[in-house]
Structure 1
Amino acid sequence: MRSAIVALAALASSVSAVGNAIVKNNCPSTFYLWSVGGSIGPEVAVAPGKNYTEVLRRDPTSGGVALKITRTAGGLFTGAPTQIFSYTLDGAQVWYDLSTVFGEPFAGSHLTVTANGGGTIDWPQGTHPGGSQVKVAPSGSNVVFTACA
């Protein structure tokens, strides 16, 4: 019994809390977000001044998660310009990146991704500035994408 309690205590101390993926809308208009891994989550309208938050997770099918953001409702299914804030939870670390597809929905707006203990992704003009954008932080960190920073 005593060894079982010691083993459980050791296991509990080795499991660390994970952070959150947070999307902040500092823009003057609503945008639309889908959490995509092995399947597509429901559309979420993120109003000005509001946030979307999900606990960092590892998708069992794809391994990673992409938070896909468009400026138009239903835009994920119509080929609208899409901002992609993606992350992969890998044990003690979370890897994160910023990219676009079908255009740049936030061109002209400052975009950032920050995490405690991790690197910052900074797109001053809302467009890819070139070079690798992949960063890494401890898995307990909140990883925050801010539109119109």
Structure 2
Amino acid sequence: MRLPIPFLPLLSTLPSLTHALGSAFVLNNCAYPIYLWSVSSTISPSTTVLPDSYYQEPLHFDPATGGIAIKITTTPNGLYDHSPQLNFAYVIDAQANVVYYDINDVFGDTFKGEGVEVSGLDADCPVIEWKDGVQPGGVVTKACSADSDIFCSLC
């Protein structure tokens, strides 16, 4: 079942964008809570995502950095104590109505032994899959329509 997409008003910094953007979701299928921060030119407060629940943010553009990184750890202060983190990142190309997305690990393998997958419900959204939760070498960037929802599923 498709999760509802909130309407995102047109951003003044993106005058050529003529339709609503999708959302970025982080689905916590793990048996433990995860902690995340949405990072661009600012850092959001920490969000705790309990097992079998999710985090959602509308896809958006940051004029200072261009992209957004949702930084995910398994420790409450993980962004600040050098804990391993998974970065689920995206950037919007408004002219082409495309969202580019990728995942990568920093400071270790956050979900080693667990599955990590990024996908969309739309057929035009290619899948990024780490079957054992370990980055397979190099950053793999995928793209799909900016009005698509993108899901990062953990465990």
The two structures share one fold, judged by TM-score above 0.5: yes
Does the alignment pair 1:97 with 2:102?
yes
Candidates 130, 136, 140, aligned match of 1:133:
140
Q: Match for residue 52 of structure 2?
A: 49
**Is the Cα–Cα contact under 8 Å of residues 104 and 139 in structure 2 kept in the other structure?**
no
Q: Please give the secondary structure, in 2, of the residue aligned with 1:76.
A: coil
State the number of aligned residues.
135
CA distance in 1 between counterparts of 2:131 and 2:118 reads 11
What one-letter code is carried by the residue in structure 2 that aligns with 1:16?
H
Give the whole-Å Cα distance in 2 for the aligned partners of 1:82 and 1:136: 22
Does residue 31 (structure 1) correspond to residue 34 (structure 2)? The answer is: yes
- Measure the CA separation in 1 of the matches of 2:63 and 2:139: 26
Among 61, 66, 78, the residue aligned to 1:63:
66
1:45-91, Cα deviation, whole Å (9 max, x unpaired): 00000100000001111000000000000110000000000000111
- CA displacement at 1:17 relative to structure 2: 1.1
126-135 or 25-34, which deviates more: 126-135
Partner of 1:118: 125
Partners of 1:78 and 1:19 lie apart in 2 by 32
Distance in 1 (alpha carbons) for counterparts of 2:18 and 2:110:
38
1:137 CA drift (Å): 0.5
1:130 is displaced (CA, Å) by 2.7
TM alignment of 1:65-80, pairs within 5 A: 65-80=68-83
Higher normalized helix content (fraction of residues): 1
- RMSD, aligned CA: 1.0
Segments of structure 2 that go 5 or more residues without pairing to the other structure are 1-16
Task: State TM-score, norm by structure 2.
Answer: 0.85
**Rg bigger for which structure?**
1
Percent of aligned pairs sharing the same letter: 39
Which whole-Å CA distance do the structure 1 matches of 2:88 and 2:117 have between them? 10
SS of 1:97's partner is: strand
Distance in structure 2 (CA, Å) of the matches to 1:100 and 1:57: 22
CA shift in 2, pair 1:93/1:36, >3 Å: same
Structure 1: runs of 5 or more not aligned: 1-13
Deviation, structure 1 residue 131: 4.6
User: Contact 2:103 / 2:139 at 8 angstroms: preserved in 1?
Assistant: no
Q: Distance in 1 between matches of 2:100 and 2:116?
A: 18
Q: How many angstroms apart in 1 are the aligned matches of 2:139 and 2:69?
A: 17
